[in-house]
Structure 1
Amino acid sequence: MSEIVAPPPAPPGEQAIPWLGLTAVLLGTFMSTLTGRLSTFGLTDVRGALHAGFDEGAWITTAFTVAQMLITPIAVWIGSIYGPRRILIVAALEFAFASFLLPFSQNLTTFLALQFLAGLGSGCFIPLTLSFILRNMPPRLWAYGVALYALNLELSLNISASVEGWYVDNLTWHWIFWQNVPLALGMAACLFWGVRSLPPPPRIHTDGYGLMSCGLGLALIYAALDQGNRLDWGSSGLIWGLTLAGIIMIVSFVVHGRTTPDAWLDFKVATAWPLPLLLLMIAILRLTILSTSYLIPYYLGGVRGFRALQVGDTLIWIAAPQLIICPLAAFMLRRSDPRITASLGLCLVGLACMAVAYTLTPSWGSDQFLPSQLMQAVGQSFALSGIVFTGVLNLKPQDALSFGAMLQIARLFGGEAGTSFITTMSRIREQRASNLIGLHLQIGSQDVQQRLAIYGRVLARSSHQPQAAPVILGNLVRTMATTQATIDCFVAVAAFAVFGLFMLLLVLPAPPRTPASHIPFFSRKKPG
């Protein structure tokens, strides 16, 4: 960020209430992650209500997340000038307004426009959360703030299936979006009474080209990743166009930033070791987290026919323990090197994935996933908080906004890359497994005829059509193929966790910090 002079003191009588401000930014993080996942789990119900086909409805989640990516650099720039209070209050009110109107949409075009509007609002939340924690809390409490940040992301990510299933079964799909209205209004109220306002600086530098080229380039690449699996990647001209256009915009942004003295992003912060490596590790960790969050619903829905609420009974065992793990992770961050906490977390994630890969069978239900999910809950929280805190200790407080933007980009891209990778891999591995199993099922062979005869007798005794026996055999083949694909994907996720563990070995210990390094949250003057 370019240097901006410090603002005048706050008006008399206007006092900040730090815990209200912290509540506000954590609410924003919670809503942003929860809404993205709720839209994914509730996509079938939303598509049906809008009379949208599979291909058209696939853009519902893309519109929301692309808007988040587009607004990230702009949100950070405005937050550095006017202070996060103003931008977050406006973003929260706009998010509440869009969320309220979404269920009233009469067609897909209107719904996509409102989804994009909601994404613009929620995209301001996460980039400014970490900067609040670093600049509003004393350094001795940073570990607890980072652990709360990790808790918020993990909790909202894994309760979404249960929440969406409960809404659909007991209320309507409209509440997937209406539940954001009171949360966003509560966030705005906490910001209004908990954070003091500041006047803008007398001189404001605007790097319009840098902001737009960065945001647009990231959004285009993100859209290509989100739609790539559906359109078969390189076979689609749209994916090629989005990817190439995004790369051109990012390259032009980097060139512009390197040659412009007042670029909005401080490239010295972005390239200072070990931040690039830590951001890559955050992306890899988000890849593993979202991959496993996809694989369990993929298996339980495809093999056991579970609905969202039943899938949520499994994922909730990742979310619920976070309330206990959060203070434990903070304690470890304060008492030991955060790299140890991150290493322990990555080891647990890898072991949990391999435990599933070696024992998974088509007879598994929610209960069989419980031990591995408890292990993964601890691992994900430790790994995320440890990696983020390692980055914090290598960061100057005045660079918190730049780090917040980079963290948001790494988080979104890592999650999207993980989802794209695992959906593509599961599809390809299921097709391969189905083909290999089918090679052993020759029409007219004695074994196949015996199996069909057994199915026919069972169907006849239960008053069903014996002619449905081939359908049952086909479903059995699909079940075995889905199970094998799930096993292969869990092995791949474990390999990513091991790769992240080796990358962590390249991170040197963080320099010691002193209380003098702490500066107030809203100070815009860099220490000399």
Structure 2
Amino acid sequence: MNGQPAAAPVPHPFTLRLALGLVGVLIAALTSGLNDRVSDIALADVRAALGISYDQGSWVIAVYQAAEVATMMIAPWFAVTFSLRRFAIGVSVGFAVTGALLPFAPDFNTVIALRVLQGIFGGALPPLLMTVALRFLPPPIKLFGLSAYALTATFGPNMAASLAAFWTDSVGWQFVFWQVIPPMLVAGVLIGWGLPQDPTRFERFKQIDLFGMLTGCSGMALLIMTLAQGERLDWLNSPLICAMLLSSLALLLVFFINEWFHPLPLFKLQLLARRNQAHGLLVLAGVLTVALSGSALPSAYFAQVEGFRTVQFAPLALTIGLPQLIIAPLVAALLNLRWIDCRWMLSLGAALMAGSCLMGAQLTSDWARENFWMIQIMQAFGQPMMIVSVLMSATSVVLPPEGPFASAMFNTVRGFSSVAAGTLVECFLSHRQQFHSHTLLDQAANRPWLMTADSAASASRSAPLLPDGSISSVENIGHFSTLVKQQSVVLSISDSYLMLIGFATLLVLLTVWLPKRVWPPQTLIQPVTHTPRT
């Protein structure tokens, strides 16, 4: 082998059988994403049932995410080597088995071990969806396949809150893990029946990038755990965080140097010289960050200000999640029209996201669920418009033999960005809440008249009366402190919406400057690398 990508395999005719095989891969990938978010949301119930402390519970989430993202780096390589069908069936079965065993874990160490295994199997599934879409779908429907991949970022995460509430409130906490078993069994059957069986390519082990696998996966796993645990352990004030961060950066630096020169790398970094590919990775990270304005911020408001449980605000997330089944294919159909430029579709989606954030920035403590409906509807259209457009632009410069490289890079960026974006918003909310809380308390202490008659009355109405009919000053102060805390949360969420407007604006500027015009796959235009800028 000379280290160059193999010639593209002979295309398989697109039949109903193959289509059902692709549906199986889609079900598996969506189930993987749902499991990650559902177990995160239902963590408190799981901790209580398994007797795990808060600190231990944070590691249950961290190790899963670390194993998941690290596996995304290597899954396409192993899928090509062992064949797509065998590899997909194997990881689907492994994912279901670990989910079945988790509720029976006898101790914390067993829980951690099973979560790492489940993260490895779960992280291998989303890259397979992009790989099969790029390989098996004929040009006229390729964008519909990419819109199905976009569902893993738009549909799954927004369905998780409702599922988590349903399992924990109505069925049983065990189903937080057992929920994966039925869909994975269906996915395994469809994959085994529908996907064609490629020959194995064990000769690739002669050029295996073992050094890259060790340095890249280790570095990414350590970086993910640093992000997941940083706020809890006070970042650089923690020796553990410092050690993990420095080790991860050193390992990833060595990994990227190795990938540039290796004859059969995991990441083909030379693809970044293609402007659309570089733009796609940058914008994908930005979209996942801005998308938190439709999930994390409303959840924070209702949980911390209104005191709602998950089941009470889960319908808001459904407003974004369920319409994706229609909106994502609709966006793909529009982008299949030659006269529609995906750059402007992306920019329009970013404008909708920025507009929804601008509305959210007007948040007050009087808002109810009805105030969020228009914000969520704008998000429901904006998210798929951006993600499907990014996928169309970036994959247009990828040749069929380069599909596994693109899949590894895209999914690793997607997995890392989801964790990093969540950490960014969480830290921003926390620090802005502290800032506003201190500011409000300082102003109240220095200028007592700022405690208005309305806030005093609010505190008085809810404060209990003493036997002589007077109001306890201690209770009054306590209720005033609660009002300050609620107001600081509202202001911090408003600030977060404004921050995300900045991200959306940056994405538009990148789209205007960096990518070149591309056309739908079926139009047979010359590759974008040779097309003049329009």
Same fold, judged at TM 0.5 (above) = yes
Equivalent of 1:321 in 318, 323, 326: 323
Aligned to 1:231: 233
Aligned to 1:347: 351
Q: CA deviation at 1:405?
A: 0.8
Q: Is the 8 A contact 1:2 1:263 kept in 2?
A: no
Aligned to 2:368: 365
Aligned to 1:403: 406
Question: What SS does the aligned partner of 2:289 have?
Answer: helix
Distance 2:518 2:216 in 1: 29
Q: CA deviation at 1:457?
A: 6.1
Q: CA deviation at 1:466?
A: 4.1
Aligned to 2:383: 380
Any idea what the Cα deviations from partners look like across 1:372-404, whole Å, max 9, x if unmatched?
110011001111111111111122122111111
- Bigger shift: 260-269 or 367-376? 260-269
Aligned to 1:279: 281
Q: Which amino acid aligns with 1:228?
A: G
Task: Please list, as runs of the form range in 1=range in 2, the aligned pairs for 1:427-506 lying within 5 A after superposition.
Answer: 427-442=430-445, 445=448, 455-456=459-460, 459-460=463-464, 466-467=471-472, 468-505=475-512, 506=514
Question: What SS does the aligned partner of 1:306 have?
Answer: coil
Q: CA deviation at 1:78?
A: 0.9
- Bigger shift: 349-358 or 239-248? 239-248
Q: Is the 8 A contact 1:63 1:115 kept in 2?
A: yes
Distance 1:81 1:215 in 2: 18
Equivalent of 2:252 in 250, 253, 262: 250
Question: What SS does the aligned partner of 1:258 have?
Answer: helix
Change (3 A) 1:439 1:83: same
Aligned to 1:95: 95
Change (3 A) 1:516 1:507: closer
Change (3 A) 1:200 1:40: same
Question: What SS does the aligned partner of 1:440 have?
Answer: helix
Question: What SS does the aligned partner of 1:305 have?
Answer: coil
Distance 2:260 2:334 in 1: 39
Any idea what the Cα deviations from partners look like across 1:149-195, whole Å, max 9, x if unmatched?
21343111101111111111111111111010111111111111111
Change (3 A) 1:457 1:407: closer
- Bigger shift: 93-102 or 225-234? 225-234
Q: Is the 8 A contact 2:433 2:489 kept in 1?
A: yes
Distance 1:154 1:465 in 2: 54
Any idea what the Cα deviations from partners look like across 1:207-264, whole Å, max 9, x if unmatched?
2111221121111111111111222222222222111111111111222223333334
Any idea what the Cα deviations from partners look like across 1:411-432, whole Å, max 9, x if unmatched?
1121112111111110010001
- Count of paired positions: 513
Q: CA deviation at 1:268?
A: 2.2
Stretches of structure 1 that go unaligned for 5 or more consecutive residues are: 518-528
Distance 1:454 1:250 in 2: 54
Q: CA deviation at 1:298?
A: 0.8
Any idea what the Cα deviations from partners look like across 1:112-147, whole Å, max 9, x if unmatched?
111111111111111111121111111110111111
Question: What SS does the aligned partner of 1:185 have?
Answer: helix
Aligned to 1:218: 220
Distance 2:22 2:329 in 1: 16
Q: Is the 8 A contact 1:322 1:381 kept in 2?
A: yes
Q: Which amino acid aligns with 1:429?
A: R
Distance 1:330 1:82 in 2: 32
Aligned to 1:525: none
Distance 2:25 2:158 in 1: 19
Question: What SS does the aligned partner of 2:251 have?
Answer: helix
Change (3 A) 1:515 1:132: farther
Are 1:337 and 2:344 an aligned pair? no
Question: What SS does the aligned partner of 1:274 have?
Answer: helix
Are 1:123 and 2:127 an aligned pair? no
Distance 1:366 1:9 in 2: 49
Q: Which amino acid aligns with 2:210?
A: G
Question: What SS does the aligned partner of 2:275 have?
Answer: coil
Distance 1:141 1:476 in 2: 54
Aligned to 2:532: none
Distance 1:249 1:237 in 2: 18
Aligned to 2:300: 298
Distance 1:487 1:9 in 2: 51
Distance 1:485 1:493 in 2: 12
RMSD: 2.6
Question: What SS does the aligned partner of 1:388 have?
Answer: helix
Question: What SS does the aligned partner of 2:443 have?
Answer: coil
Aligned to 2:62: 62
| TM-score where L is the length of structure 1 | 0.91
Aligned to 2:24: 24
Q: Is the 8 A contact 2:82 2:202 kept in 1?
A: no
Q: Is the 8 A contact 1:349 1:380 kept in 2?
A: yes
Q: Which amino acid aligns with 2:178?
A: W
Are 1:425 and 2:428 an aligned pair? yes
Identity among equivalent positions (%) equals 27
- Bigger shift: 239-248 or 146-155? 146-155
Q: Is the 8 A contact 1:127 1:405 kept in 2?
A: yes
Stretches of structure 2 that go unaligned for 5 or more consecutive residues are: 526-534
Distance 1:21 1:427 in 2: 45
Aligned to 1:412: 415
Q: CA deviation at 1:203?
A: 2.4
Any idea what the Cα deviations from partners look like across 1:422-461, whole Å, max 9, x if unmatched?
1111001000101111013239957759766874465447
Distance 2:302 2:470 in 1: 27
Question: What SS does the aligned partner of 2:444 have?
Answer: coil
Change (3 A) 1:211 1:508: same
- Bigger shift: 213-222 or 490-499? 213-222
Q: CA deviation at 1:274?
A: 2.5
Aligned to 1:189: 189
- Bigger shift: 253-262 or 481-490? 253-262
Q: CA deviation at 1:4?
A: 3.9
Distance 1:21 1:329 in 2: 23
Q: Is the 8 A contact 1:5 1:201 kept in 2?
A: no
Q: Which amino acid aligns with 1:421?
A: L
Change (3 A) 1:110 1:128: same
Q: CA deviation at 1:470?
A: 2.1
